[in-house]
C-alpha cells in the first residue's frame, strides 16, 4: 500500500512506523492528538477510485493527513461501495489501533454515509455502524464524518 502526505510527498516507511513517528513527534511538540480515519469513493467511467485518509488533529492547532488512493475496475452497488469504504477504513484503523492505545490517542472511524433516509447511501448505515462499533471503534457518519466526506472527498475530486 502506497501512502503519501497531502503535499504529495511519498511516505517511504510502512504506515505503522510513519504513524508512530508522527504521533511521537506531535506529542514531543506538546500537542494533544486525535486521529480520524475515513474513506470516500467515486465512480469515474469504468473505474471506482477509493481515497483513504488518516487525519491527525492537533487540539486547537490544525492538523495534517496521510493519504492512500486506489482504483479498481470492479463494479459495486451503492450499498456495496459504501461498505467497501468502511472496510478500507476499518482495515487501517485495526492495523494502527495498538498505537493509539499505547500513546493514548483518541481515534474515530468516519463513514461517508448519510444519516438522512432520503439519501441512497443511508441503505448501508446500519451495517456500517454495526461493523465499526462491533470492532470497538468510535463511529461518526455524515454530517460529522469530515475525514471521509471532506478530507478524502477532496483527494478524489
For residue 126, the model assigns a pLDDT of 85
Report the run of H or E that residue 149 belongs to, with start and end: none
**Domain residue limits at 122:** 3-156
Are the C-beta atoms of residues 146 and 110 closer than 8 Å to each other?
Answer: yes
How many structural domains compose the chain?
Answer: 1
Are the C-beta atoms of residues 67 and 15 closer than 8 Å to each other?
Answer: no
Q: What is the tens place of the pLDDT at every residue in 22-47?
A: 999 999 999 999 999 999 999 999 99
Mean pLDDT along residues 69-97: 94
Q: What is the tens place of the pLDDT at every residue in 54-73?
A: 999 998 899 999 999 999 99
Residue whose C-alpha cell is 493527513: 65
Give the residue among 44, 57, 128, 119 at the shortest CA–CA distance from 86.
128
| Degrees, nearest 5: CA angle 24-53-125 | 125
d(CA 86, CA 84): 5
Amino acid at each position: 500500500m502506497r501512502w503519501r502526505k497531502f503535499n504529495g510527498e511519498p511516505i517511504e516507511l510502512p504506515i505503522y512506523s510513519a504513524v508512530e513517528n508522527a504521533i511521537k513527534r506531535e506529542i514531543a511538540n506538546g500537542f494533544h492528538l486525535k486521529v480520524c480515519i475515513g474513506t470516500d469513493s467515486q465512480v469515474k467511467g469504468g473505474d471506482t477510485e477509493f481515497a483513504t485518509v488518516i487525519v491527525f488533529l492537533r487540539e486547537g492547532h490544525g492538523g495534517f493527513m496521510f493519504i492512500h488512493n486506489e482504483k479498481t475496475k470492479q463494479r459495486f452497488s451503492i450499498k456495496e461501495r459504501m461498505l467497501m469504504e468502511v472496510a478500507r477504513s476499518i482495515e487501517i484503523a485495526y492495523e494502527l489501533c495498538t498505537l493509539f492505545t499505547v500513546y493514548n490517542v483518541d481515534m474515530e472511524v468516519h463513514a461517508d454515509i448519510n444519516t438522512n433516509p432520503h439519501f441512497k447511501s443511508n441503505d448501508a448505515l446500519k451495517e456500517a455502524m454495526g461493523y465499526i462499533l462491533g470492532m470497538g471503534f468510535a463511529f461518526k457518519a455524515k454530517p460529522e464524518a469530515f475525514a471521509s466526506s471532506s478530507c478524502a472527498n477532496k483527494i478524489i475530486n
